[in-house]
Structure 1
Amino acid sequence: MPLPTPPPTLLRDAALFLDFDGTLVPIADRPDAITIAPGLLPLLERLQAALAGRLTLVSGRAAADVRRWIAPLEVAVAGSHGLELGTKTAPRSAALEEGLRHLRGLQAEHAGVLLEEKPLGAALHYREAPGAEDACRAAVTRVALSTGMEVQPGKMVFEIKPADGDKGTAIQTLMQRPDHAGHRPVFIGDDLTDEHGFAVVRDLGGSGILVGEERDTAATHRLRDVAEVHRWLNDACEEMS
Protein backbone atom coordinates (compact mmCIF):
# COMPACT_ATOMS: atom_id res chain seq x y z
CA MET A 1 0.00 0.00 0.00
CA PRO A 2 1.42 3.44 -0.93
CA LEU A 3 2.54 5.59 1.96
CA PRO A 4 0.19 8.52 2.67
CA THR A 5 1.16 12.17 2.59
CA PRO A 6 1.69 13.40 6.17
CA PRO A 7 -1.00 15.71 7.54
CA PRO A 8 0.22 19.27 8.22
CA THR A 9 -0.82 18.84 11.86
CA LEU A 10 1.87 16.17 12.37
CA LEU A 11 4.38 18.63 13.82
CA ARG A 12 2.18 19.87 16.63
CA ASP A 13 4.04 19.19 19.89
CA ALA A 14 6.75 17.33 17.94
CA ALA A 15 10.54 17.19 17.98
CA LEU A 16 11.66 17.47 14.35
CA PHE A 17 14.75 15.86 12.85
CA LEU A 18 15.67 16.71 9.26
CA ASP A 19 18.14 15.09 6.89
CA PHE A 20 19.97 17.60 4.67
CA ASP A 21 20.95 16.34 1.19
CA GLY A 22 17.98 14.97 -0.72
CA THR A 23 15.57 16.32 1.90
CA LEU A 24 16.21 20.04 2.37
CA VAL A 25 18.47 20.53 -0.66
CA PRO A 26 18.50 18.61 -3.96
CA ILE A 27 21.32 16.11 -4.35
CA ALA A 28 24.12 17.45 -6.55
CA ASP A 29 26.86 15.67 -8.48
CA ARG A 30 29.36 16.89 -5.87
CA PRO A 31 28.76 17.75 -2.19
CA ASP A 32 30.08 21.28 -2.75
CA ALA A 33 27.73 21.91 -5.70
CA ILE A 34 24.41 22.03 -3.83
CA THR A 35 22.18 25.09 -3.94
CA ILE A 36 20.29 26.57 -0.99
CA ALA A 37 16.81 27.74 -1.98
CA PRO A 38 16.18 31.38 -1.02
CA GLY A 39 13.35 30.43 1.31
CA LEU A 40 15.08 27.60 3.15
CA LEU A 41 16.81 29.53 5.94
CA PRO A 42 13.71 31.61 6.79
CA LEU A 43 11.71 28.37 6.82
CA LEU A 44 14.12 26.70 9.25
CA GLU A 45 14.04 29.80 11.44
CA ARG A 46 10.23 29.67 11.54
CA LEU A 47 10.28 25.96 12.36
CA GLN A 48 12.76 26.46 15.17
CA ALA A 49 10.57 29.14 16.73
CA ALA A 50 7.33 27.17 16.28
CA LEU A 51 8.89 24.06 17.85
CA ALA A 52 10.50 25.97 20.74
CA GLY A 53 13.95 24.88 19.57
CA ARG A 54 13.13 21.19 19.05
CA LEU A 55 14.72 21.13 15.59
CA THR A 56 17.88 19.23 14.61
CA LEU A 57 19.52 18.64 11.25
CA VAL A 58 20.80 15.03 11.17
CA SER A 59 23.18 14.72 8.23
CA GLY A 60 25.81 12.47 6.76
CA ARG A 61 27.93 15.57 6.21
CA ALA A 62 30.34 16.79 8.85
CA ALA A 63 28.53 19.08 11.29
CA ALA A 64 30.82 22.01 10.44
CA ASP A 65 30.00 21.62 6.74
CA VAL A 66 26.25 21.75 7.38
CA ARG A 67 26.67 24.83 9.59
CA ARG A 68 28.65 26.52 6.82
CA TRP A 69 25.79 26.03 4.36
CA ILE A 70 23.09 27.34 6.70
CA ALA A 71 25.07 30.26 8.16
CA PRO A 72 24.25 32.66 9.72
CA LEU A 73 21.28 30.66 11.00
CA GLU A 74 22.05 28.69 14.16
CA VAL A 75 20.27 25.33 14.27
CA ALA A 76 21.32 22.19 16.14
CA VAL A 77 23.27 19.81 13.88
CA ALA A 78 24.10 16.13 14.38
CA GLY A 79 26.73 15.52 11.70
CA SER A 80 28.53 12.44 10.37
CA HIS A 81 25.30 10.40 10.37
CA GLY A 82 24.51 11.60 13.87
CA LEU A 83 27.89 10.64 15.34
CA GLU A 84 28.81 14.30 15.86
CA LEU A 85 26.55 15.60 18.59
CA GLY A 86 28.55 18.64 19.58
CA THR A 87 31.21 16.74 21.51
CA LYS A 88 34.89 17.22 20.75
CA THR A 89 36.05 14.90 17.99
CA ALA A 90 38.91 12.55 18.84
CA PRO A 91 42.00 12.57 16.58
CA ARG A 92 41.94 10.14 13.67
CA SER A 93 43.59 6.82 14.34
CA ALA A 94 46.74 5.81 12.49
CA ALA A 95 44.74 3.05 10.79
CA LEU A 96 42.18 5.55 9.48
CA GLU A 97 44.92 7.88 8.25
CA GLU A 98 46.44 4.97 6.34
CA GLY A 99 43.01 4.08 4.96
CA LEU A 100 42.51 7.65 3.76
CA ARG A 101 45.81 7.50 1.89
CA HIS A 102 44.50 4.40 0.11
CA LEU A 103 41.23 6.15 -0.78
CA ARG A 104 43.08 9.22 -2.06
CA GLY A 105 45.01 6.94 -4.38
CA LEU A 106 41.80 5.41 -5.71
CA GLN A 107 40.38 8.89 -6.30
CA ALA A 108 43.46 9.75 -8.35
CA GLU A 109 43.06 6.60 -10.44
CA HIS A 110 39.38 7.11 -11.35
CA ALA A 111 38.33 10.38 -12.95
CA GLY A 112 35.06 11.58 -11.45
CA VAL A 113 35.42 9.75 -8.12
CA LEU A 114 35.33 12.20 -5.21
CA LEU A 115 36.71 11.48 -1.74
CA GLU A 116 34.92 13.41 1.01
CA GLU A 117 37.00 13.29 4.20
CA LYS A 118 35.07 13.68 7.45
CA PRO A 119 36.09 14.00 11.10
CA LEU A 120 34.99 10.43 11.86
CA GLY A 121 35.34 8.68 8.50
CA ALA A 122 35.11 9.27 4.77
CA ALA A 123 32.86 8.90 1.74
CA LEU A 124 33.66 7.89 -1.83
CA HIS A 125 31.20 9.47 -4.26
CA TYR A 126 30.96 7.92 -7.71
CA ARG A 127 27.98 9.81 -9.16
CA GLU A 128 30.26 11.25 -11.85
CA ALA A 129 32.00 7.89 -12.38
CA PRO A 130 29.33 5.14 -12.22
CA GLY A 131 31.74 2.63 -13.75
CA ALA A 132 33.89 2.89 -10.63
CA GLU A 133 31.18 1.54 -8.31
CA ASP A 134 32.83 -1.84 -7.76
CA ALA A 135 36.25 -0.28 -7.18
CA CYS A 136 34.78 2.14 -4.62
CA ARG A 137 32.94 -0.64 -2.83
CA ALA A 138 36.09 -2.76 -2.65
CA ALA A 139 38.19 0.15 -1.43
CA VAL A 140 35.91 1.20 1.42
CA THR A 141 35.40 -2.44 2.43
CA ARG A 142 39.16 -2.88 2.68
CA VAL A 143 39.51 0.27 4.81
CA ALA A 144 36.58 -0.74 7.01
CA LEU A 145 38.19 -4.12 7.71
CA SER A 146 41.53 -2.52 8.58
CA THR A 147 40.02 0.10 10.90
CA GLY A 148 37.17 -1.77 12.57
CA MET A 149 34.70 0.64 10.99
CA GLU A 150 31.62 -0.20 8.93
CA VAL A 151 30.53 0.42 5.36
CA GLN A 152 27.40 2.53 4.85
CA PRO A 153 26.04 2.49 1.28
CA GLY A 154 24.11 5.50 0.04
CA LYS A 155 22.96 7.11 -3.19
CA MET A 156 26.01 6.74 -5.49
CA VAL A 157 28.31 6.75 -2.46
CA PHE A 158 30.04 4.32 -0.11
CA GLU A 159 31.08 5.51 3.32
CA ILE A 160 33.15 4.26 6.20
CA LYS A 161 32.10 5.29 9.67
CA PRO A 162 32.37 4.07 13.26
CA ALA A 163 30.16 1.09 13.97
CA ASP A 164 28.86 2.38 17.30
CA GLY A 165 26.27 4.87 16.10
CA ASP A 166 23.94 6.05 13.34
CA LYS A 167 21.12 8.52 12.79
CA GLY A 168 18.79 6.37 14.87
CA THR A 169 21.03 6.31 17.94
CA ALA A 170 21.54 10.07 17.59
CA ILE A 171 17.77 10.62 17.64
CA GLN A 172 17.45 8.33 20.67
CA THR A 173 20.08 10.38 22.50
CA LEU A 174 18.49 13.70 21.58
CA MET A 175 15.03 12.52 22.65
CA GLN A 176 16.37 11.99 26.17
CA ARG A 177 17.13 15.67 26.58
CA PRO A 178 14.75 17.54 28.90
CA ASP A 179 13.46 19.86 26.16
CA HIS A 180 12.68 16.88 23.89
CA ALA A 181 11.37 14.33 26.39
CA GLY A 182 7.61 13.82 26.17
CA HIS A 183 7.39 15.13 22.62
CA ARG A 184 6.69 13.03 19.53
CA PRO A 185 9.71 12.55 17.23
CA VAL A 186 9.33 13.17 13.50
CA PHE A 187 12.20 12.42 11.12
CA ILE A 188 12.31 13.33 7.42
CA GLY A 189 14.91 11.71 5.16
CA ASP A 190 15.48 10.19 1.75
CA ASP A 191 18.41 7.77 1.76
CA LEU A 192 19.10 4.26 3.02
CA THR A 193 21.16 5.88 5.78
CA ASP A 194 17.92 7.38 7.09
CA GLU A 195 16.25 4.02 7.74
CA HIS A 196 17.87 3.80 11.18
CA GLY A 197 16.16 7.07 12.05
CA PHE A 198 12.80 5.97 10.66
CA ALA A 199 12.92 2.79 12.77
CA VAL A 200 13.76 4.67 15.96
CA VAL A 201 11.05 7.32 15.64
CA ARG A 202 8.52 4.56 14.86
CA ASP A 203 9.55 2.66 17.99
CA LEU A 204 9.27 5.88 20.03
CA GLY A 205 5.71 6.43 18.83
CA GLY A 206 6.61 9.04 16.23
CA SER A 207 6.61 9.28 12.45
CA GLY A 208 9.16 8.87 9.69
CA ILE A 209 8.64 10.66 6.39
CA LEU A 210 10.37 9.24 3.31
CA VAL A 211 11.34 11.67 0.55
CA GLY A 212 11.37 10.24 -2.97
CA GLU A 213 10.19 7.07 -4.66
CA GLU A 214 8.30 4.32 -2.83
CA ARG A 215 10.49 1.56 -1.34
CA ASP A 216 10.54 -0.88 1.54
CA THR A 217 10.92 1.44 4.49
CA ALA A 218 10.25 1.95 8.19
CA ALA A 219 8.78 5.37 7.36
CA THR A 220 5.06 5.91 7.81
CA HIS A 221 4.52 8.78 5.33
CA ARG A 222 6.03 10.02 2.07
CA LEU A 223 6.72 13.28 0.24
CA ARG A 224 7.70 13.25 -3.43
CA ASP A 225 10.75 15.53 -3.49
CA VAL A 226 12.61 18.44 -1.89
CA ALA A 227 10.13 21.00 -3.22
CA GLU A 228 7.23 19.12 -1.62
CA VAL A 229 9.17 18.91 1.65
CA HIS A 230 9.46 22.70 1.67
CA ARG A 231 5.77 23.17 0.89
CA TRP A 232 4.74 20.71 3.58
CA LEU A 233 7.00 22.28 6.21
CA ASN A 234 5.56 25.70 5.36
CA ASP A 235 2.02 24.31 5.76
CA ALA A 236 3.01 22.70 9.06
CA CYS A 237 4.34 26.07 10.30
CA GLU A 238 1.02 27.66 9.41
CA GLU A 239 -0.80 24.97 11.43
CA MET A 240 1.38 25.67 14.47
CA SER A 241 1.03 29.48 14.31
Structure 2
Amino acid sequence: MTFDETTIALPPPKPLSLAQAALFLDLDGTLAPIAARPQDVRPDPRRTSLLARLETTLGGRLAVVSGRTLADVDRILEGRITAVSAVHGLVRREPDGTIHQAAPHPDLPEVARRFGDFAARDSGLIVEEKGLSVALHYRLARAHGPAAEALAQELAAKTGLTLQHGDMVEELRTPGPTKGDSVEAFLGQPPFAGARPVFVGDDDTDEHGFAAVQARGGLGVLIGPPRATEAKFRLPGVEEALAWLEAAL
Protein backbone atom coordinates (compact mmCIF):
# COMPACT_ATOMS: atom_id res chain seq x y z
CA MET A 1 0.00 0.00 0.00
CA THR A 2 1.28 3.47 -0.84
CA PHE A 3 0.46 6.50 1.25
CA ASP A 4 -0.26 10.00 -0.03
CA GLU A 5 2.61 12.17 1.18
CA THR A 6 0.42 15.28 0.88
CA THR A 7 -1.77 14.11 3.77
CA ILE A 8 0.90 14.32 6.48
CA ALA A 9 -0.38 17.64 7.93
CA LEU A 10 -3.84 16.49 8.98
CA PRO A 11 -6.56 18.41 10.84
CA PRO A 12 -8.21 17.03 13.97
CA PRO A 13 -11.56 15.31 13.43
CA LYS A 14 -14.80 17.12 14.15
CA PRO A 15 -16.75 16.06 17.25
CA LEU A 16 -17.85 12.47 16.79
CA SER A 17 -21.54 11.79 16.22
CA LEU A 18 -22.49 8.26 17.22
CA ALA A 19 -25.78 8.29 15.30
CA GLN A 20 -25.45 5.71 12.49
CA ALA A 21 -21.72 5.31 13.25
CA ALA A 22 -19.77 2.07 13.57
CA LEU A 23 -16.50 2.29 15.49
CA PHE A 24 -13.41 0.22 14.70
CA LEU A 25 -10.71 0.90 17.26
CA ASP A 26 -7.10 -0.23 17.42
CA LEU A 27 -5.78 -1.00 20.91
CA ASP A 28 -2.06 -0.32 21.44
CA GLY A 29 -1.14 3.27 20.66
CA THR A 30 -4.81 4.20 20.29
CA LEU A 31 -6.75 3.10 23.39
CA ALA A 32 -3.66 2.23 25.44
CA PRO A 33 -0.18 3.79 25.51
CA ILE A 34 2.58 1.74 23.91
CA ALA A 35 4.38 -0.19 26.65
CA ALA A 36 7.99 -1.33 26.79
CA ARG A 37 6.83 -4.96 26.79
CA PRO A 38 3.53 -6.27 25.36
CA GLN A 39 2.59 -7.87 28.67
CA ASP A 40 2.92 -4.53 30.48
CA VAL A 41 -0.40 -3.26 29.05
CA ARG A 42 -3.05 -4.02 31.66
CA PRO A 43 -6.78 -3.45 32.18
CA ASP A 44 -7.77 0.15 32.86
CA PRO A 45 -11.11 1.13 34.46
CA ARG A 46 -11.47 4.31 32.41
CA ARG A 47 -10.89 2.50 29.11
CA THR A 48 -13.14 -0.44 29.96
CA SER A 49 -15.97 1.84 31.10
CA LEU A 50 -15.66 4.00 27.98
CA LEU A 51 -15.83 1.02 25.62
CA ALA A 52 -18.78 -0.48 27.50
CA ARG A 53 -20.73 2.78 27.26
CA LEU A 54 -19.85 3.23 23.59
CA GLU A 55 -20.89 -0.31 22.73
CA THR A 56 -24.24 0.16 24.49
CA THR A 57 -24.91 3.55 22.90
CA LEU A 58 -24.00 2.21 19.45
CA GLY A 59 -26.21 -0.85 19.79
CA GLY A 60 -23.19 -3.13 19.46
CA ARG A 61 -21.61 -1.33 16.48
CA LEU A 62 -18.14 -1.32 18.03
CA ALA A 63 -15.22 -3.62 17.27
CA VAL A 64 -11.65 -3.64 18.53
CA VAL A 65 -9.20 -4.31 15.68
CA SER A 66 -5.80 -5.26 17.10
CA GLY A 67 -2.54 -6.99 16.32
CA ARG A 68 -2.72 -8.81 19.65
CA THR A 69 -4.10 -12.29 20.14
CA LEU A 70 -7.77 -12.64 20.97
CA ALA A 71 -6.91 -13.85 24.47
CA ASP A 72 -4.71 -10.82 25.07
CA VAL A 73 -7.37 -8.38 23.86
CA ASP A 74 -9.86 -10.02 26.23
CA ARG A 75 -7.35 -9.79 29.08
CA ILE A 76 -6.74 -6.08 28.58
CA LEU A 77 -10.40 -5.19 27.95
CA GLU A 78 -11.66 -7.55 30.67
CA GLY A 79 -13.71 -9.53 28.15
CA ARG A 80 -16.07 -6.60 27.70
CA ILE A 81 -16.07 -6.36 23.89
CA THR A 82 -17.36 -9.28 21.82
CA ALA A 83 -16.62 -8.08 18.28
CA VAL A 84 -12.84 -8.31 17.94
CA SER A 85 -10.38 -8.67 15.08
CA ALA A 86 -7.08 -10.07 16.37
CA VAL A 87 -3.59 -10.81 14.99
CA HIS A 88 -3.98 -8.07 12.36
CA GLY A 89 -7.12 -9.61 10.85
CA LEU A 90 -6.19 -13.30 10.91
CA VAL A 91 -8.69 -13.95 13.72
CA ARG A 92 -12.18 -12.46 13.87
CA ARG A 93 -14.84 -12.93 16.54
CA GLU A 94 -18.27 -11.92 15.38
CA PRO A 95 -20.89 -10.19 17.56
CA ASP A 96 -22.57 -13.57 18.18
CA GLY A 97 -19.29 -15.04 19.43
CA THR A 98 -18.47 -17.08 16.32
CA ILE A 99 -14.70 -17.17 15.72
CA HIS A 100 -13.07 -17.30 12.29
CA GLN A 101 -9.36 -18.09 12.19
CA ALA A 102 -6.77 -18.68 9.48
CA ALA A 103 -4.66 -21.85 9.47
CA PRO A 104 -1.13 -21.21 10.79
CA HIS A 105 1.75 -21.19 8.33
CA PRO A 106 3.98 -24.29 8.75
CA ASP A 107 7.20 -22.24 8.94
CA LEU A 108 6.19 -20.24 12.03
CA PRO A 109 8.01 -22.60 14.47
CA GLU A 110 11.25 -22.12 12.52
CA VAL A 111 10.78 -18.35 12.57
CA ALA A 112 10.18 -18.48 16.33
CA ARG A 113 13.41 -20.45 16.73
CA ARG A 114 15.43 -18.01 14.62
CA PHE A 115 13.95 -15.01 16.43
CA GLY A 116 14.70 -16.72 19.74
CA ASP A 117 18.32 -17.28 18.78
CA PHE A 118 18.59 -13.62 17.79
CA ALA A 119 16.94 -12.43 21.03
CA ALA A 120 19.45 -14.39 23.12
CA ARG A 121 22.03 -11.68 22.42
CA ASP A 122 20.20 -9.03 24.51
CA SER A 123 17.65 -9.29 27.33
CA GLY A 124 15.85 -6.27 25.86
CA LEU A 125 14.83 -8.27 22.77
CA ILE A 126 11.44 -9.94 23.17
CA VAL A 127 9.90 -12.69 21.03
CA GLU A 128 6.10 -12.82 21.04
CA GLU A 129 4.47 -15.93 19.59
CA LYS A 130 0.84 -15.37 18.59
CA GLY A 131 -0.06 -18.69 17.01
CA LEU A 132 -0.54 -17.17 13.55
CA SER A 133 2.46 -14.84 13.68
CA VAL A 134 5.73 -14.27 15.51
CA ALA A 135 6.91 -10.81 16.54
CA LEU A 136 10.38 -9.61 17.50
CA HIS A 137 10.24 -6.52 19.73
CA TYR A 138 13.31 -4.31 20.14
CA ARG A 139 11.94 -1.26 21.99
CA LEU A 140 14.24 -2.05 24.92
CA ALA A 141 17.20 -2.81 22.63
CA ARG A 142 16.91 -0.27 19.82
CA ALA A 143 20.49 -0.67 18.66
CA HIS A 144 19.48 -4.10 17.34
CA GLY A 145 16.69 -2.66 15.18
CA PRO A 146 18.52 -2.77 11.82
CA ALA A 147 19.70 -6.34 12.41
CA ALA A 148 16.19 -7.39 13.50
CA GLU A 149 14.73 -5.92 10.33
CA ALA A 150 17.35 -7.64 8.17
CA LEU A 151 16.62 -11.00 9.82
CA ALA A 152 12.88 -10.55 9.36
CA GLN A 153 13.35 -9.68 5.68
CA GLU A 154 15.55 -12.75 5.18
CA LEU A 155 12.98 -15.05 6.79
CA ALA A 156 10.08 -13.50 4.87
CA ALA A 157 11.87 -14.13 1.58
CA LYS A 158 12.68 -17.70 2.61
CA THR A 159 9.27 -18.72 3.97
CA GLY A 160 6.69 -16.63 2.14
CA LEU A 161 5.37 -15.27 5.42
CA THR A 162 4.10 -11.69 5.33
CA LEU A 163 6.51 -9.19 6.88
CA GLN A 164 4.82 -6.51 8.92
CA HIS A 165 6.84 -3.58 10.25
CA GLY A 166 5.51 -2.03 13.44
CA ASP A 167 6.59 0.45 16.09
CA MET A 168 9.92 -1.06 17.25
CA VAL A 169 8.78 -4.52 16.18
CA GLU A 170 9.25 -6.83 13.20
CA GLU A 171 6.49 -9.39 12.73
CA LEU A 172 6.11 -12.33 10.37
CA ARG A 173 2.50 -13.39 9.92
CA THR A 174 0.58 -16.06 8.13
CA PRO A 175 -0.58 -14.61 4.79
CA GLY A 176 -4.28 -13.88 4.90
CA PRO A 177 -6.89 -11.30 5.88
CA THR A 178 -5.86 -7.82 7.01
CA LYS A 179 -7.46 -5.38 9.41
CA GLY A 180 -9.23 -3.88 6.41
CA ASP A 181 -10.68 -7.26 5.49
CA SER A 182 -12.00 -7.62 9.04
CA VAL A 183 -13.67 -4.23 8.81
CA GLU A 184 -15.31 -5.26 5.53
CA ALA A 185 -16.52 -8.51 7.08
CA PHE A 186 -18.04 -6.74 10.08
CA LEU A 187 -19.75 -4.17 7.85
CA GLY A 188 -21.40 -6.97 5.90
CA GLN A 189 -23.46 -8.15 8.86
CA PRO A 190 -25.68 -6.81 11.66
CA PRO A 191 -25.39 -4.68 13.67
CA PHE A 192 -22.68 -2.97 11.57
CA ALA A 193 -24.35 -3.17 8.15
CA GLY A 194 -25.44 0.20 6.79
CA ALA A 195 -23.54 2.24 9.38
CA ARG A 196 -20.95 4.92 8.65
CA PRO A 197 -17.61 3.37 9.63
CA VAL A 198 -14.96 5.15 11.69
CA PHE A 199 -11.50 3.60 12.06
CA VAL A 200 -9.07 4.92 14.68
CA GLY A 201 -5.49 3.64 14.76
CA ASP A 202 -1.85 4.61 15.07
CA ASP A 203 0.42 2.22 13.19
CA ASP A 204 1.23 1.18 9.62
CA THR A 205 -0.79 -1.98 10.29
CA ASP A 206 -3.91 0.22 10.54
CA GLU A 207 -3.60 1.62 7.02
CA HIS A 208 -5.78 -1.12 5.51
CA GLY A 209 -8.45 -0.17 8.04
CA PHE A 210 -8.29 3.50 7.11
CA ALA A 211 -8.60 2.63 3.42
CA ALA A 212 -11.53 0.27 4.01
CA VAL A 213 -13.69 2.74 5.92
CA GLN A 214 -12.91 5.69 3.66
CA ALA A 215 -13.84 3.65 0.58
CA ARG A 216 -17.31 3.44 2.17
CA GLY A 217 -17.53 7.16 2.91
CA GLY A 218 -16.31 6.73 6.47
CA LEU A 219 -13.68 8.37 8.61
CA GLY A 220 -10.04 7.43 9.24
CA VAL A 221 -8.33 9.01 12.26
CA LEU A 222 -4.59 8.61 12.82
CA ILE A 223 -3.35 8.70 16.41
CA GLY A 224 0.18 9.95 17.07
CA PRO A 225 2.77 12.11 15.33
CA PRO A 226 2.33 13.22 11.70
CA ARG A 227 3.34 10.73 9.01
CA ALA A 228 2.30 9.62 5.56
CA THR A 229 -1.07 7.88 5.89
CA GLU A 230 -4.39 7.05 4.25
CA ALA A 231 -6.20 8.71 7.18
CA LYS A 232 -7.70 12.16 6.68
CA PHE A 233 -7.64 13.33 10.31
CA ARG A 234 -5.22 13.09 13.24
CA LEU A 235 -5.13 13.33 17.02
CA PRO A 236 -1.79 13.68 18.87
CA GLY A 237 -2.01 10.71 21.21
CA VAL A 238 -3.94 8.22 23.31
CA GLU A 239 -5.23 10.79 25.79
CA GLU A 240 -6.69 12.91 23.00
CA ALA A 241 -8.23 9.83 21.38
CA LEU A 242 -9.93 8.80 24.61
CA ALA A 243 -11.17 12.35 25.22
CA TRP A 244 -12.59 12.55 21.67
CA LEU A 245 -14.48 9.30 22.18
CA GLU A 246 -15.71 10.31 25.65
CA ALA A 247 -17.02 13.62 24.31
CA ALA A 248 -19.34 11.72 21.96
CA LEU A 249 -21.29 10.19 24.86
Which letter maps to 1:143? L
Equivalent positions of 1:13-162 (< 5 A) are 13-86=20-93, 87=99, 89=101, 92-162=104-174
SS of residue matched to 1:16 = strand
* Aligned counterparts of 1:210 and 1:73: Cα–Cα separation in 2: 24
C-alpha distance in structure 2 between counterparts of 1:123 and 1:155, whole Å? 11
- 2:15 is matched by which residue type in structure 1? P
Give the conservation status (yes or no) of the 8 Å contact 1:210–1:223: yes
**What displacement does 1:72 show?**
4.3
CA change 1:90–1:182 in 2 (3 A) is closer
1:15 touches 1:55 (CA, 8 Å); kept in 2?
yes
Tell me how far 1:121 sits from its aligned partner. Answer: 0.7
- Deviation for aligned residue 1:34: 2.1
Unaligned runs of at least 5 residues, structure 2: 1-6, 94-98
Contact persistence 2:124–2:140 (CA under 8 A): yes
**Map of 2:212 onto structure 1:** 200
Shift of 1:169: 1.2
Shift in alpha-carbon separation, 1:23–1:9, aligned structure 2, 3 A: closer
**Percentage of matched positions with identical amino acids:** 43
Contact 2:16 2:244 in 1 (8 A): no
Compute the displacement of 1:88 (Å). Answer: 5.4
| In 1, Cα distance between equivalents of 2:103 and 2:227 | 38
Q: Give the paired residue count.
A: 237
Query: In structure 2, how many angstroms separate the alpha carbons of the residues matched to 1:164 and 1:178?
Result: 24
Aligned with 1:209 (options 200, 218, 221) = 221
SS of residue in 2 equivalent to 1:197: helix
- Bigger Cα displacement from structure 2, 31-40 vs 132-141: 31-40
Partner of 1:12: 19
Distance 1:226 1:36, change over 3 A: farther
CA distance in 2, matches of 1:72, 1:96: 28
2 CA distance for matches of 1:119 and 1:216?
31
Distance 1:140 1:185 in 2: 34
Q: Distance in 1 between matches of 2:18 and 2:61?
A: 11
Normalised TM-score (structure 1): 0.92
**Partners in 1 of 2:122 and 2:156 — Cα distance?**
20
TM-score when normalising by structure 2? 0.89
1:91 shift after superposition? 6.0
